[in-house]
Amino acid sequence: MLILPKSDIAPSDITPREVYQERRQFLGMAGGLALAAALGGLSTLAAANTRQKFSGVIPSKFGADEKPTPYKDVAGYNNFYEFGTSKSDPADFSDTLRPRPWTVSIEGEVKKPKRIAIEDLYKLAPLEERLYRMRCVEGWSMVIPWVGFPLADLIKWAEPTSNAKYVEFFTLNDQQQMPGQRSNVLDWPYNEGLRMDEAMNPLTLMAVGLYGEQLPNQNGAPIRLVTPWKYGFKGIKSIVRIKFTEQMPVSSWMKANIHEYGFYSNVNPDVDHPRWSQATERRIGTGFFQKRQKTLMFNGYAEQVAQMYSGMDLRKNF
């Protein structure tokens, strides 16, 4: 329901990562090695296993009063069309992404354009852990312990001008690293946008990790957006460019189908997607016989975000 101070989650509740890691390594022997060898990418496979743990992460100010989704599901069931359209493609094929070195460029309505390396982004603000619900437009959800910092801190550092009404984000555009971009399922590079007040909301997170570690490639390494009251596709991954604009950006999904995907894309159980009912959701990792649960307005974050939309017709502005 409401966001509670997160203190009731014992570290032991969190699925042991080692167990998962062993299993994946075993599976990787058969499939992964053959595949990587075929791609001539043995070295990249090794690189993927050198993820680091963050130290000194501040425990969360925000947290869902729910159990985190097991790591294997968070890192194994993803929509990241840059690596293929099936849910397992990102985990299977994202070894080609090189999250280091990485820089993000800041442009548009700012005092002066800048570039910032990922290492410096880590130091821009203290890293916090935030346990957020994530609701996908397809009717499933997870609870994910992100590591990151408020987007507001990045925006202050970027020094936007008074013309800046929106923030637009772009994913890396590189068919070598993101083979899925060779197919034209979406208009590449993937882009997304937020209104300035949404971007400045304390809930809005620039995530650089999950489960205390640097982001796995399939989750959008090395840096991604997290807006827990919006459908998951707003959380753009592997960001290389942030642009401040006066006009409302047109996102990749809006371009794909303006009738199905709106700019706001706030979680709303009363407004159905043409394909999926949004009234209920399936919580991933809760087992075969767990029923669907009711979806909450703004994904349960109404207290933090509802005031930004007061007076707006949320059926029209979906």
Partner 1 sequence: MPPITLTPAAVSRVKAVLFCIALLPIARLFVLGFLDKLGANPIEFVIRSNGTWALTFLLITLTVTPLRKFTGANWLVQMRRMFGLYAFFYALMHMLSYVWLDQWFDWAEIGKNIAKHPFIIAGLSSFVLLIPLAATSTNAMMKRMKRNWQKLHTLVYPIAMLGVLHYFWLVKKDITQPVIYAVILTLLLGMRIVWRLRQNTVR
Q: Taken in order 203, 208, 211, 215, is the CA torsion positive or negative?
A: positive
Distance in angstroms (rounded) separating the CA atoms of residues 277 and 258: 18
Q: Does 291 bind partner 1 (CB under 8 A)?
A: yes
Q: Give the helix/strand (H/E) hosting 131.
A: strand 128-135
Q: Is 132 in the site for partner 1 (CB under 8 A)?
A: no
Q: Which DSSP letter does residue 49 get?
A: T
How many amino acids of this chain bind partner 1 (CB under 8 A)? 29
Q: Which of 61, 92, 118, 140 binds partner 1 (CB under 8 A)?
A: 140
Establish if 292 lies at the interface with partner 1 (CB under 8 A).
yes
State in angstroms the smallest separation of the CB of 280 from partner 1. 7
Name the minimum Å distance from CB 112 to partner 1. Answer: 38
87 binds partner 1 (CB under 8 A): yes
Judge if the upstream peptide bond of residue 222 is cis by omega within 30 degrees of 0.
yes
Report the nearest approach of partner 1 to the CB of residue 273 (Å): 9
**In angstroms, how far apart are the furthest CA atoms of the chain?**
57
Residue reference for tokens 């997304």 = 192
Q: Is 128 helix (H, G, I), strand (E, B) or coil?
A: strand
DSSP label at residue 28: I
Stretch that binds partner 1, among 47-55, 84-92, 102-110, 159-167 (CB under 8 A): 84-92
Touching partner 1, residues 176-205 (CB under 8 A): 183, 185-186
Dihedral angle computed from the Cα positions of residues 214, 219, 305 and 204, in that order, rounded to the nearest 10 degrees: 40
The footprint of partner 1 (CB under 8 A) covers 72-73, 76-77, 81, 85, 87-88, 138, 140, 183, 185-186, 256-257, 272, 274-277, 279-280, 282, 284-285, 288-289, 291-292
